[in-house]
Amino acid sequence: MLRRTATSAEGRNLLHVIKLVSPFVMVVVLQAAIAGFSLEVMSSVRAYVAGEALWSRSQKNAVYFLNLYLHSGETSQFAQYQASLAVPIGDEFARWALERDPVDVEAARIGFLQGGNHPDDVPGLIWLFRYFSRVSFLQNAIREWAATDPMLLELSIFGEVIRSALENGPIQDDDRLRFLSSRLSELNAQFTVHANRFSTVLGEGSRAIKVTLTCINIVTAATLILLLIWHTRRLVLQRQAFEDALHAEKERLAWQASHDWLTGLSNRRAFEARLQSELDNAAAGALGLILLDLDQFKSVNDSCGHLAGDRLLCQVSRLLQQGRHAHDLVARLGGDEFGLILPRCSPFDAVDIAERLRRSLELFNFAWDDRCFAVTASIGVACIADRNTTLEDAMRRADAACYRAKEKGRNRVQVESGRPGVVAVAARPREAARA
């Protein structure tokens, strides 16, 4: 059983940890994905830039070697022309394969390899074309690229025409030679214009992509930072709330340990601790200690039940707290027994307060279910001037006075002065009237 409980607790702790770190993991994974995507896009764009340089140079070389072959008839120069022309033609075949539906990836790969692109760059070239060909900058670059198709076809045809013409020997017609040479120069100029535009569009697109991806990375990094701040703040607030709740719980438990659950007054434990503290304070002056027992509590309990008895105790506790100083302490010691600690209180004032309480209870009527009960109390007062008095002795003296008040007929105040015997103190009419 304990093992299952421990396993369950470990599982809950693991889920809690996962819940705490999952936002960070998600943002980090997103950041990594964006970074990987950025690298892939930039690498593919770089591959197109490198391929454009090779494509442009090969077209110029094809025109250059074909022009040399036109004037010299050297077969090696025609072979160089063919090798140079194969590069843009390979790229052209790759583009056609990617524009088909469905896409012919293998034909595109072969075409790009024929175009002289590095094998490691070919997947990126295919990926960028397939999924980003409708992006404005790449769309414009492809448009410039496709515009050279008729020129490549014308250059291929020129090559075959010139080779056929040179099979019978050098061309003797100067006008024809000038025409062919002039047309090759025009093709070279046209190739140059489209190559420059292609390069410019790729450069602008590359810069735009760099800025965009940089902004995205900054946003995700800022999101991660804000998430970290928010999560840390939430943890701090949770910890603060936990500490506040713990502090409140400690205070509640401390209050419960030192107070009576029914009346809210201090209990015997807190009463005795306060009394000992007052007795230890030698400079505090005289101390009044009052113990009070209700005289009719048992009859209320027996005739009306414990709920009525509890209601009576609550009402008596509120009456005892009326007019008390902030430094006075009223406590329920148990059952129907109450106690008061009156610091810095002379014997005369302590007796006066006790008599006021007796008179207030005497005038108080408790009603329950259309029945009315007279409530009185037997009160014992101990006036302590000697701070060498022990807690037990102080309580014994006040308890003895309370007991003597009960013996003498209840509803009276008895004072224990510290001398042998107990002295009864009669109520003073004027003070009783003020109470």
Span 308-346, pLDDT tens digits? 999 999 999 999 999 899 999 999 999 999 999 999 899
pLDDT of residue 4: 64
Structure tokens at 38: 């950025």
In sequence order, what DSSP letters do the residues of 82-139 get, joined into one string?
HHHHHHHHHHHHHHHHHHSSS--HHHHHHHHHHTT--TTTHHHHHHHHHHHTTSHHHH
84-142 per-position pLDDT tens digit: 989 999 999 999 999 888 999 999 999 989 988 999 999 988 988 888 888 887 888 88
Name the DSSP class of 426: P
What pTM, to 2 d.p., does this model score? 0.51
Can you tell me the distance from the alpha carbon of 345 to that of 142, in angstroms, rounded to the nearest whole number? 103
- Asked if residues 432 and 413 have their Cβ atoms less than 8 Å apart, the reply is no
- Residue 434 pLDDT > 60, yes or no? no
Measured CA to CA, the distance from residue 117 to residue 124 in angstroms comes to: 11
Which CATH number describes the domain made up of 268-434?
Answer: 3.30.70.270
- Say yes or no to pLDDT of 410 above 50: yes
409 DSSP 8-state letter: T
Give tens-digit pLDDT for 33-56: 877 777 777 788 888 888 888 888
pLDDT at site 408:
92
Residue 430 has pLDDT above 70, yes or no: no
Tokens 């450069």 found at = 203
Q: What is the largest CA-CA distance in the chain?
A: 158
Which amino acid is located at 19 in the chain? K
More confident residue, 435 or 128: 128
What's the mean pLDDT when you consider all of the chain?
84
Residue with the larger pLDDT of the pair 289 and 283: 289
pLDDT at 304 over 50: yes
Q: Which residue has the higher pLDDT, 432 or 213?
A: 213
Q: Tell me what percent of the residues of the chain surpass a pLDDT of 90.
A: 32
For residue 97, give the nearest of 80, 82, 114, 81 by alpha carbon.
114
Cα–Cα distance measured from residue 204 to residue 134, given in angstroms and rounded to the nearest whole number: 16
> What confidence tens digit (pLDDT) does each residue in 143-157 have?
888 888 888 888 888
Phi then psi dihedrals of residue 71, to 5 deg: -90, -25
